[in-house]
Chains A and B, each alone.
Chain A
Amino acid sequence: AQKITQTQPGMFVQEKEAVTLDCTYDTSDPSYGLFWYKQPSSGEMIFLIYQGSYDQQNATEGRYSLNFQKARKSANLVISASQLGDSAMYFCALSGGSYIPTFGRGTSLIVHP
């Protein structure tokens, strides 16, 4: 069985500061992928970043980076230079051999000016 845990229901950050959103996971699949999605108040789910379990380097996409620590089973999202438009819900998801991703409960991020 797959499990995703996001322990931070809400986070606050000052504009232009960096913020880390936590995600831990558990799976028995030898090959798996970790995803982060952003859901603004408008409701659409926006793909941010992907990390494969065999990728040697941490994934980066612009201001988003994934701090992947395989031994600790964590895949934290780091947002650098936060912007007001980053205020949203953020979901971590795990996908393995079953093709059905498991989503975390989400973290609400509020960026203060």
Chain B
Amino acid sequence: GAGVSQSPSNKVTEKGKDVELRCDPISGHTALYWYRQSLGQGLEFLIYFQGNSAPDKSGLPSDRFSAERTGGSVSTLTIQRTQQEDSAVYLCASSLPLAGGNNEQFFGPGTRLTVL
């Protein structure tokens, strides 16, 4: 596709349920990032994929969070046993991992998660 897509755009769930958020990056972008943005806050880094491997999972806030990427393309972020503090916008971005820091990120529209 032309840009990064994410689904669903909105998700309302009950506390304790599991949710899956999907990200479809720009074709050819080998780097993929997940961020979380709470209301009025900056971006909190969650996880980074290079191809199908995740060299940095340091941002995942707890073991309830996991992510995978298959075929070097689509990624799924799974949150198990959701809590109210998980409510946020989850943003996905993809980029070409160019050396020297010039890795402009292209962001998806985000998934707004509300945990009741």
Using a CB–CB distance below 8 Å, which chain A residues touch chain B? Answer: 29, 31-33, 35, 37, 43-47, 50, 52-54, 91, 93-106
Q: Which of B45, B56, B102 has the most CB of A within 10 A?
A: B102
Q: How many residues of B are counted as interface, with CB atoms below 8 angstroms from the partner's CB atoms?
A: 26
A47-B106 in contact given A53-B101, A100-B33, A100-B56 (Cβ < 8 Å): yes
**13 A-B interface contacts by CB (under 8 A):** A32-B100, A33-B102, A44-B107, A47-B104, A52-B100, A53-B100, A91-B42, A91-B43, A97-B100, A99-B50, A102-B45, A103-B35, A103-B43
Using a CB–CB distance below 8 Å, which chain B residues touch chain A? Answer: 31, 33, 35, 41-43, 45, 48, 50, 56, 89, 91, 93, 97, 99-107, 109-110, 112
B36 smallest CB distance to A (angstroms) = 12
A33-B43 in contact given A99-B48, A100-B33, A100-B48 (Cβ < 8 Å): no
Interface of A, helix, strand, loop or mixed by DSSP: loop
